[in-house]
Amino acid sequence: MAQVGAWVGAVITAPLRGFARLLDVPLRVWQRLAGQNGMAAFFLLPNMAIFGIFVLFPLGLNIAYSLTSGGALFLADRNFAGLGQYQRLLTCADYTNLLSCQEDQFWTALGNTALFVVVQVTALIVLATATALILNRELRARSFWRAVFFFPVLLSPVVVGLIWRWILDRNGVLNAGLVAVGLDPVNWLLDRNFAFAAAVGVTIWAHLGFFALILLAGLQAIPRDLYEAAEMDGTRPARVFWRITLPLLMPNMLVVIVLALIRAVQVFDEAFVLTGGGPGTATLFLTQYIYEVGFASLLKNPGLAAAASILMGGVLVVLTLLQLALGRRNERKAKLK
Amino acid sequence: MGRIVLKDIRKTYGAVDVLKGIDLEVAEGELVVFVGPSGCGKSTLLRMIAGLDRPTTGTIEIDGVDVTARGAADRGLAMVFQSYALYPHMTVRANMAFGLQNTKMAKAEIDARIAEAARMLEIEPLLDRRPGQLSGGQRQRVAIGRAIVRRPTAFLLDEPLSNLDAELRVSMRAELSALHDRLGATMIHVTHDQVEAMTMADRIVVLRAGKVEQVDTPLGLYNRPANLFVAGFIGAPGMNLWAGRAGASGFTLDGGQVLPVAAQGATTLGLRPQHLRLDPAGPLVAQVTLVEALGAESVIHADLAGGQKLLAVLPGQPDLARGASVRFGFDPGHAHLFGADGLRAAA
Ligand SMILES: Nc1ncnc2c1ncn2[C@@H]1O[C@H](COP(=O)(O)OP(=O)(O)OP(=O)(O)O)[C@@H](O)[C@H]1O
Ligand SMILES: [Mg+2]
């Protein structure tokens, strides 16, 4: 059996080896010409090319679009507008009344997103921490519960949105249940506050497992003896949490907070499928605003959408840099230990 | 203060009997060492005493009070963990203060206690460092300091020296003993290093497979091991234990050699390697298989007729070649005799 395996392996690797030998000569020549660092650049090239084509180039294109106006699709057909689109986004006659803004929808989306970020991230962090603490206990069927909490993470966001729409819809499962027990159906998703709460709740449900998992990993890295030492010292559970668990969980916690912030700023798919931004503009978030202005509305304005996405991108860059900085700090601390 | 009495402590995890009925009295101020092979239940027993785990049955009394149902915090004991279990994100000072703050002690009193313990353990310059910035030995001191400031009725130490290198272990051993004398508090010290047990203990508790094999002073164990296990476990290198049978003329080894020891009923004869000596007229004939010369003494490995092994520790550097046939003698008073049940034969 093992011999057959070795034989098959040899057959498979033979052409590879031949190919490698073929490449050997030009590579050697190239290395002599380019030096060791040149070789590194050479090997990085494919990846950099992909990054360039799919990230850098679109980014540049986006910036270019944000400086143009009109409805034309191709850049060559568009009029240069300078910072006009940014101006349009940010100008208000009276900054205390957002309805007076030129793009009041942008401001509504911005306000909704800001509220969403604060509420959703706070609730998500608290719930994920609580979940991780519970899953870290010696529960019966612990693996089962871990799977249950992680399962929604595996679902496509659209599926998540659909599931919950089926539940919360006027003719949905929840109302069917209410009717069955003799209550009046409620039009959940047509209530502004409830729709917003649903967007918060559903995105939490969908992401909770992911963040709880990161926190759980952090909790499991805390040595049990520390808790036993605290127990010998007669430490109350609340003090154990605040003085031992939380500080030692901080590296993971910071990562979780920043990732949750980034995701919350980007909120779109689940919420859009669930509420479509409504009722009215109650759950209109920035990404949806950009999508509609750029692609979906009758008066498509790619320039405006591009400008809005650059502004949003700025926020995300700040958050990402924060995360990288935290990551580096954690690494340094880990080395100190 | 600090008298600990264990009555018939048993512990089962599922179907596994880890402790099988332990009775023990630790006197006030005594330094008792639990020693035994890995997995024999030393840590489990210590954790029962600490209150980190509950016995399945049995009672634990401290100073005459039944504390079996009490939590760890209410027993007035302090524990030093094998891993030290220092809080890594707190300074040494905060580590030592943490337990005291739980009791709402005044800050001045806390500071005073920390200062006193730090002086005693010579860790004053380290007070504002974090555990990650300390060496193993320094962490060890801090862990002990954290126990001391609580002024416990007894200290429980679970293999506190096992993470230190050999040299440091020897010096910390002496320091711990000195500390015990100074504090006068009861200490229960767990180790599987029998040298550590011998050098530190007032009394040693030898455990095996969840049972107490013998409780005695170090020399008591050495001189009068109660059974074959203790005989083999205490003393380094281990005691020679030879199977044979007792007869009118003495103890006949399975290989046929007759030793002049009065040994009614014994089936095993034990002799420490240090009690053998070269003797051209001696009753033991053995073939040398290995000589380990350590300078001051030499460890001789040899085979007796019949295949049993002989180990002898001889002073100096005797000139013995591998394969040589050598005669050993001994003082019959040094022989230990054990019956078929493994217990020390009455003699
Ligand atoms: N929670 C547990 N569940 C099941 N078995 C356990 C548990 N804790 C300990 N044991 C078993 O109890 C026995 C005694 O363990 P214990 O840790 O007390 O040994 P020890 O004498 O301290 O050993 P060592 O010298 O290696 O530290 C071991 O066989 C161990 O496998
Ligand atoms: Mg142990």
Residue A82 lies in a domain: no
Q: Do the domain assignments include residue A87? A: no
Mean pLDDT, residues B321-347: 88
Angle between helices A246-265 and A192-220 (to 10 degrees): 140
Q: Same domain, yes or no, for A236 and A174?
A: yes
Does pLDDT of A157 surpass 80? yes
B176 Cα–ligand 2 center, Å: 19
Pocket of ligand 1 contains residue B38 by CB under 6 Å: yes
Handedness of CA A176, A181, A182, A188 (dihedral sign): negative
Are both A22 and A99 inside the same structural domain?
A: no
The span from the CA of B98 to the CA of A232, in Å, is: 11
Over residues B332-337, the mean pLDDT reads 91
Instruction: Give a yes or no: residue A77 inside a domain.
Output: no
Three-state secondary-structure class, residue B80: strand
Q: Would you state the pLDDT for residue B342?
A: 86
Q: With bands split at pLDDT 50, 70 and 90, how would you rate the model's confidence at A189?
A: confident
Give the mean pLDDT of A269-290.
87
* Cβ of B47 less than 6 Å from ligand 1: no
pLDDT at A299: 77
> SS3 letters for A121-162?
HHHHHHHHHHHHHHHCCCCCCHHHHHHHHHHHHHCCHHHHHH
Residue (of B207, B62, B51) closest to A231 by Cα position: B51
B158 and B43 in contact (C-beta within 8 Å)?
yes
Domain B237-338 class in CATH: mainly beta
Chain B nearest-CA distance from A234, in A, is: 4
- Per the domain annotation, does A81 fall within a domain? no
CA of B223 to the centre of ligand 2 (A): 27
User: How is residue B90 annotated by DSSP?
Assistant: S
Using the predicted structure, report yes or no on whether residue A337 has a pLDDT greater than 60.
no
A289 within 8 A of A105, measured Cβ to Cβ: yes
CA distance B271 to B56: 40
A129, pLDDT greater than 90? yes
pLDDT in tens, A294-324: 887 777 788 888 888 998 888 888 888 887 8
Residue closest via CA to ligand 1's atom 20 equals: B39
Averaged pLDDT, A45-72: 87
**Of B310, B301, B265, nearest to B283 (Cα)?**
B310
Q: Which among A231, A233, A247 has the least Cβ separation from residue B98?
A: A233
Residue type, B22: I
**Same-domain status, A26 and A112:** no
Cβ–ligand 1 distance for B13 under 6 Å, the answer yes
In a domain, A301, yes or no: yes
Same domain, A172 and A317: yes
Q: Choose one of B17, B44, B191 to mutate for the ligand 1 pocket test, by most ligand atoms within 8 angstroms of C-beta.
A: B44
pLDDT band at B347; cut points 50, 70, 90: low
Which residue among B10, B11, B17, B18 is best mutated to probe the pocket of ligand 1, counting the most ligand atoms within 8 A of its Cβ? B18
Question: Would residue A72 count as lying in a domain?
Answer: no
Specify the fold of B4-230: Rossmann fold (3.40.50)
The pLDDT assigned to B169 comes to 85
Task: List, for residues B262-310, the tens digit of each pLDDT value.
Answer: 878 889 999 999 999 999 988 899 999 999 999 899 999 999 988 899 9
Closest-CA residue of B relative to A333 is B132
- Chain A residues with CB-CB distance to B79 below 8 A: 228-229, 232
Q: Provide the pLDDT for residue A334.
A: 64
Closest residue (by CA) to atom 16 of ligand 1? B41
Average pLDDT over residues A75-85: 80
% of chain A surpassing 70 pLDDT: 98
Residue A26, pLDDT score: 83
Question: Measured between CB atoms, does B71 come within 8 Å of chain A?
Answer: yes
Residue with tokens 């074959």: B228
A1 pLDDT band, cuts 50/70/90, is low
Is the ipTM higher than 0.85? The answer is no
DSSP H/E element including A247: helix A246-265
Domain count, chain A: 2
Average pLDDT, chain B: 90
H or E, element range at A262: helix A246-265
Q: Which tens digits make up the pLDDT trace of A49-62? A: 999 999 899 899 88
Backbone angles phi, psi at B135, to 5 degrees: -80, 170
* Structural domain includes residue A293: yes
Residue B160 has pLDDT above 80, yes or no: yes
Domain holding A56, by residue range, is 2-66
Does A68 have pLDDT greater than 60? yes
Q: Is residue A240 over pLDDT 90?
A: yes
Residues A102 and A223 in one domain: yes
Does the pLDDT value for residue A176 go beyond 60? yes
The answer to whether B133 contacts A336, with C-beta atoms less than 8 Å apart, is: yes
Residues A283 and A322 in one domain: yes
For ligand 1, atom 22: residue with the closest CA: B43
The string of pLDDT tens digits covering residues B62-104 is: 998 999 988 888 898 999 998 899 999 999 999 999 999 988 8
How far is ligand 2, taken at its centre, from the CA of residue B8, in Å?
Answer: 20
- Residue B236 clears pLDDT 80, i.e. is over it: yes
A275 and A188 housed in the same domain: yes
Would the CB atoms of A229 and B78 count as touching at under 8 Å?
no
Check whether residue A202 and residue A62 sit in a common domain: no
According to the model, what pLDDT value does residue A245 have?
93
Task: Please give, rounded to a whole number of angstroms, the shortest distance from the CA of B99 to a CA of chain A.
Answer: 5
CB of B336 closer than 6 angstroms to any ligand 1 atom:
no
Examine the domain organization and report whether A99 and A24 are in the same domain. Answer: no
* Contact in structure between A220 and B59 (CB atoms under 8 Å): no
Window 121-160 of B: residues touching A by CB (8 A cutoff) are 132-133, 146, 150
* Least reliable range by pLDDT among A80-94, A241-255, B312-326: A80-94
The verdict on A107 and A156 lying in the same domain is yes
Among B43, B49, B102, B188, pick the best mutation site for testing chain A contact (most A Cβ within 10 A).
Answer: B102
pLDDT tier at B50, thresholds 50, 70, 90: very high
> What residues have their beta carbon closer than 5 A to ion ligand 2?
B 43
* Domain coordinates in residue numbering, chain B: 4-230, 237-338
B103 touches chain A (CB under 8 A): yes
- In percent, the amount of chain A with pLDDT more than 90 equals 23
pLDDT per position as a tens digit, B103-147: 888 999 999 999 999 988 888 899 999 998 898 888 988 999 999
Rounded to the nearest whole angstrom, what is the distance from the C-alpha of residue B42 to the centroid of ligand 2?
6
CB contact under 8 A, B132 and A337: yes
